[in-house]
Structure 1
Amino acid sequence: MPPMPPNPNNKQQGPGGRHAALVNAEKPRNAKETLGKLLSYIGRSRYIFFGLMAVMLIMTLLGLAAPYIQQIAIDCITLDKDKLSVNTDKLMKSLIALGGVYLLNSAFSYMQGIFSARLSQRTVSTMRRDLFGDLVRLPIKYFDTHKHGDIMSRMTNDVENISNTISQSIGSLISGVLTVIGSIVIMLIYSPLLTLISLSTVVLTIFVSGKMTKFMRKYFLEQQIILGRLNGHVEEMVTGCRTVASYSKEKAAAQQFNEMSDELRKTGIRAQICGGVMGPLMNCISNFGFVLIAAFGGWFSFKGWITVGTIQAFILYSKQFSRPINEIANQYANIQTAIAGAERIFEVMETKPEPDDGKSEMKAENVRGDIDFEDIRFGYDADKPVLKGFSLEIEQGRKIAIVGATGSGKTTIVNLLTRFYEPDGGRITVDGMDITDIPKDELRRSIGIVLQDTVLFRGTIEENIRYGREDAPEEDVIRAARHANADEFIRRLPDGYKTQLAEGGTNLSQGQRQLLTIARAVLADPKILILDEATSSVDTRTEMHIQSAMVALMKNRTSLIIAHRLSTIRDADTIVVIDGGRVAESGRHEELIAKKGCYYDLYQTQFAGNKT
């Protein structure tokens, strides 16, 4: 039996399997390339960025001035012929200047926090907008082959990690570069020899950090991938909570969650340990450098080459030189998490969007409704074809029912007609024009679809019906609801058409939700109507109401009805039976029963079997 094609609105597994998509898609990228793309987003808020740089420059200059003032203050105290001498006036001026430096530094530190927060929020706001804009233009196949929870994790967790890193690390990076440059210049002025001794540890620092970077990066990317999987599992359990409870699978679901959580914990521990090691290692190397400076500085002072104040200032400048390296090392875990998240975000952004090569001037309101499937071949997997030379010609205004066994390709026909997927061979025409030449917006506006799985959004009932035509006046909304036999139950609700729906419309019954989706299709007034198991989720009485409404709705429209309940399609103009990816037979109900072919077998299975 051919595989069951995925429903584009189904939030469950798509073709190819869930975990296969994650394993194949989430490969590490070039960190430099990712960082370059991230910097381009930061650069879009250039005025805030330049303001932050100006603030950090002032803070750096104040930081560099402090050790110099301290040196002056210390050198105000001298020992002359075993007598302590203090230049009180100069000492007081130095202390006042030092207090002013620290006060100004605090004020500019507050300004740095403001600039950093604005830069991070504007950057991630732009990134989040671009990500969602690219997300809605992705082909349906992408959503069928990726966990929805993982996609949401990229939109939330990964973006938030980038925001935190920008607000915490950008200022440090700018300050670090300026401080390193300024410290080296001043240290060279004080003592070129001591400077060379101090820089002797830099080579060791670069070597150790480079080795640790390559080792740690894989753990941070793995951590983000597992987090996406965990979110996907939670999303599944929440949306499928009734199914989980009905099969008493709560313990199994909890166990699966715990296994993923443990895997995330272990990976997180490895990542955080590796990231946490960087800081102590850098501090150890820096402290070794301070020992060298103190030892050689004391010897130089004993020789009379430099003063004690100079040694103090030099040690402080040496600390300022090593501080940025240590800060970056301490924040390395956050930086790596942000880069890993950015890789996952850019992976979505760089996925090819849904192709739309339609260049014709055809408009939805001008579509008549003639449809022709010509030798269509298609498979969700290349080695598992679903349709194998499917051909069907549908005249304008005709009501066509498509039936067949599960997995025969009924829903696939809808996916191809709406261009959710592209055929591997053959072509589909509407009014004689290849649908690839029709702009997708116009093609889809000419088609109304009512699916078995109802899709309602948070908002009022009126807003959900108007989703089919947002500019529709209120009287048209009410008229559409009446056509769908939904007006009666809507008016019984406390707020009528202004009733707020919960997420997915869960505060309504399944039948009521289906009636609203039918009303939405009625309001859209499409030239082509597709009913994919539209009445399978309602009771018999509601089904009768819907059927009577559909008679009027389908008048003068090309209608495709996909149904398992053969009782709902007996009055169709033509019934098409699909078997083996092709049209096995077609005709009216009585004709097909008389042939005693595939349709007869289906009919006997559904009805004759019920009599035994």
Structure 2
Amino acid sequence: MKKGNKMSKENRHLNRFYYTVDHAVEKPFNWQQMWRLLVYLKPYSKTYLPGSIIAMLISTAVRLIVPILIGKVAIDTVIANEDMTMLTYLVIGIGLLYLLSYVGNIFRIKWVNILGQNVIYDLRQHLFSHIQRLSHRFFDSRSGGSIIVRIMNDTNSLQELFTNGIINLLMDIVMLTGMVAILFALSPKLALAILVILPIMFYISTKLRRNIRRSWQNVRIQQSRLNSHLNESIQGIRITQSFSQEKENEEYFDGVNTDNFTSWRMATKKSAMFRPFVEMSNAIGTIILISYGAYLILLGEANGGISTGTFVSFAFYIGMFWEPISRLGQMYNQLLMAMSASERIFEFLDQKPNVEDKPDGADLTDMQGHIEFGRVQFAYDEERIALHEISLEMKAGETVALVGHTGSGKSTIANLISRFYDPTEGAVKIDGHDLRDVKLDRLRQQISVVLQDTFIFSGTILENIRFGRPNATDEEVIEASKVVGADEFIQRLANGYETEVEERGNILSAGERQLLSFARALLADPRILILDEATASIDTETEMKIQTALKRLLNGRTAIIIAHRLSTIRESDNIFVLENGKILESGNHDELMQQRGEYFELVKSQFEMLDAI
């Protein structure tokens, strides 16, 4: 009852934090998807896979042979004839067979584990590489936590399938097929009587299949939501503590955690129904063997019955028979878990980038940086149009400013230039080339973006600046830092450029992180530079220091500046004033001031704010 109450509270707060696109994937269970998974075994089809199969066949063959040797040879022949010499040879032979099985199992376990780990490595690498290439629209609708779950948890769910599941499945199928063939060869009557329970068991297991599969899908969904909330809570811990919302956050987490707990409990409960059913089938089979088998012994071989040795062999096989059946039941549950995980993995792998790269696209090796927007319209979704038939021109080497209120379309224009999105209508061109006909890598290698909330990676200062051009020398990194004014504070750090910064650069101030982003952009030596509120986190004194550096940074490049500060944009060659996705005015600072239009009002309001201070 306690958990139920907290879950209700969680539901009331659900929309406050996030919405996840994860949902139950209702697809029929099909082997086509399983074959798609098995493709990842192909690179190892000539090494670990055949070795594992051979080792498995050896150990399985031994297990199939031994009951015949004990029943038909030892009891019906050796004991009946009291042949001690043959008994000695038989014991030694069985011992050697078990030794061979032991060696086969050692290599089988070793090779399947190596095989499984390699397959999981390849799958996770493929998934990560694919996600790296997806467009911004993909990330707009998904939380970081849900993506991490796909890459980590869902691929881990396939680990047991590849390390043991597939080989064990083959082993159990071979074992069952071999035992059924041997049982019918020994006594068709007794075999038929015992195996009559199998159709019933498979019928019931089929009925359970969809329910169990859906339960494991729900487990993956709840894990995704739990990880999403964890990721969000950790990233936003400063905001949480600033507003004293720790208790609220704990209650919300308890609700999400309860959903995760409940989903696991329900899935394991339904999966656990399989094993007792197999054991019940085993009991029924044993009862049939004892009752009908005893009758056939009393009937005698001459009258269509069986020998004592045949009965003993049957007893061995029946004892062995339900073990692979039970494992197949567990394997079936494992398969359901794997299918739930693989559906979620392939859902990502089947995602196509909204921004498609043309293999034969223009290379733009000598980009000049002349940008044109031709009646460009863009919408993030059907209900929100961000740009309304924008037409503008930015000449090569020109510094252009985009100004306007929040949501006017400034950052959208910058995103279209970097081709993070494609226009809904119209065309964006650079040097006369439609960006949809240009190679993405070559385009973005010649564009640098400096954002207001710059991202600093874990690693050294040197590595973070070099991120824009990995082959840059240490001297080039230091020179870029000096140009933008970052060298001064870097030298004050304990280890200078070798200082390890924490996740997201938390040991640095906002202004210092921004200076690093300027150095990173300069080192990349782009033809087009986009500054999206890049000086918003820098204090006035620091901004004065980098004004000269900005002139060096912008010199000879096409620069797009998105900023509110007049000092940042007044020297621009051209200024576009936007409102609700439309261009209201354009011109340089003096021209726009003379028009006394929207730009004039923006400048006026900024000075009034300064006077009020």
TM-score computed with the length of structure 1 as normaliser: 0.92
Contact 1:201 1:286 in 2 (8 A): no
Is 1:164 the counterpart of 2:164? The answer is no
Question: Matches of 2:479 and 2:33 in 1, distance apart?
Answer: 53
Extract unaligned runs of 5+ from structure 2: 1-16
Equivalent position SS for 2:421: coil
Is 1:235 the counterpart of 2:242? The answer is no
Question: What amino acid is the match of 1:61?
Answer: A
For each residue in 1:337-382, what CA deviation from the matched residue of structure 2 results, as whole angstroms up to 9, or x when unmatched?
Answer: 2221111111111111340127454434x11121111111011012
How far the C-alpha of 1:176 sits from its partner, in A, is 0.8
Question: Matches of 1:168 and 1:357 in 2, distance apart?
Answer: 41
Question: What amino acid is the match of 2:52?
Answer: L
Q: Which residue is 2:96 aligned to?
A: 100
Contact 1:452 1:534 in 2 (8 A): yes
How far the C-alpha of 1:220 sits from its partner, in A, is 0.6
Equivalent position SS for 1:19: coil
Residue range with higher mean Cα deviation, 594-603 or 395-404: 594-603
Instruction: Note the 1:585-604 alignment, pairs <5 A.
Output: 585-604=585-604
Question: Matches of 2:272 and 2:96 in 1, distance apart?
Answer: 35
Question: Matches of 1:417 and 1:398 in 2, distance apart?
Answer: 15
Contact 2:407 2:580 in 1 (8 A): no
Question: Matches of 1:205 and 1:605 in 2, distance apart?
Answer: 79
Contact 1:70 1:313 in 2 (8 A): yes
How far the C-alpha of 1:405 sits from its partner, in A, is 0.8
Q: Which residue is 2:141 aligned to?
A: 145
Equivalent position SS for 2:471: coil
Contact 1:387 1:582 in 2 (8 A): yes
Contact 2:22 2:224 in 1 (8 A): no
Equivalent position SS for 2:384: coil
Question: Matches of 2:22 and 2:390 in 1, distance apart?
Answer: 33
Extract unaligned runs of 5+ from structure 1: 1-16, 80-84
Contact 2:422 2:436 in 1 (8 A): no
Q: Which residue is 1:438 aligned to?
A: 438
Contact 1:535 1:546 in 2 (8 A): no
Question: What amino acid is the match of 1:531?
Answer: L
Residue range with higher mean Cα deviation, 353-362 or 222-231: 353-362
Question: Matches of 2:30 and 2:565 in 1, distance apart?
Answer: 55
Equivalent position SS for 2:338: helix
RMSD over equivalenced CA pairs, Å: 2.0
Q: Which residue is 1:38 aligned to?
A: 37
Question: Matches of 1:54 and 1:370 in 2, distance apart?
Answer: 64
How far the C-alpha of 1:101 sits from its partner, in A, is 3.0
Question: Matches of 2:82 and 2:249 in 1, distance apart?
Answer: 76
How far the C-alpha of 1:43 sits from its partner, in A, is 3.2
Question: Matches of 2:63 and 2:361 in 1, distance apart?
Answer: 65
For each residue in 1:479-509, what CA deviation from the matched residue of structure 2 results, as whole angstroms up to 9, or x when unmatched?
Answer: 1111110111112222222222222222222
How far the C-alpha of 1:517 sits from its partner, in A, is 0.9
For each residue in 1:310-357, what CA deviation from the matched residue of structure 2 results, as whole angstroms up to 9, or x when unmatched?
Answer: 212112223333322211212433322222111111111111134012
Question: What amino acid is the match of 1:140?
Answer: H
Is 1:580 the counterpart of 2:576? The answer is no
Is 1:488 the counterpart of 2:488? The answer is yes
Question: What amino acid is the match of 1:168?
Answer: N
Q: Which residue is 2:262 aligned to?
A: 266
How far the C-alpha of 1:592 sits from its partner, in A, is 2.6
Q: Which residue is 2:74 aligned to?
A: 73
Contact 1:29 1:343 in 2 (8 A): no
Question: What amino acid is the match of 1:272?
Answer: T
Question: What amino acid is the match of 1:259?
Answer: G
Question: Matches of 1:43 and 1:440 in 2, distance apart?
Answer: 31
How far the C-alpha of 1:87 sits from its partner, in A, is 4.8
Structure 1's 27 and 19: CA in aligned 2 closer, same or farther, altered over 3 A? farther
Question: Matches of 1:566 and 1:29 in 2, distance apart?
Answer: 60
Question: Matches of 2:600 and 2:511 in 1, distance apart?
Answer: 30
Instruction: Note the 1:363-374 alignment, pairs <5 A.
Output: 363-364=364-365, 366-374=366-374
Equivalent position SS for 2:389: strand
Question: Matches of 1:499 and 1:544 in 2, distance apart?
Answer: 26
For each residue in 1:382-429, what CA deviation from the matched residue of structure 2 results, as whole angstroms up to 9, or x when unmatched?
Answer: 221010111211112221111111111111001111110010011111
Structure 1's 109 and 360: CA in aligned 2 closer, same or farther, altered over 3 A? closer
How far the C-alpha of 1:178 sits from its partner, in A, is 1.0
Question: Matches of 1:360 and 1:191 in 2, distance apart?
Answer: 71
Question: Matches of 1:185 and 1:331 in 2, distance apart?
Answer: 23
Is 1:49 the counterpart of 2:45? The answer is no
For each residue in 1:19-73, what CA deviation from the matched residue of structure 2 results, as whole angstroms up to 9, or x when unmatched?
Answer: 36324x8554644232111112123311311111111111111101221232133
Q: Which residue is 1:12 aligned to?
A: none
Question: Matches of 1:28 and 1:594 in 2, distance apart?
Answer: 64
Q: Which residue is 1:288 aligned to?
A: 284
Equivalent position SS for 2:381: coil
How far the C-alpha of 1:227 sits from its partner, in A, is 0.7
How far the C-alpha of 1:77 sits from its partner, in A, is 8.4
Equivalent position SS for 2:158: helix
Question: What amino acid is the match of 2:591?
Answer: E
Structure 1's 524 and 77: CA in aligned 2 closer, same or farther, altered over 3 A? closer
Contact 1:233 1:257 in 2 (8 A): yes
Equivalent position SS for 1:355: coil
Question: Matches of 1:503 and 1:29 in 2, distance apart?
Answer: 43
Question: What amino acid is the match of 1:324?
Answer: P
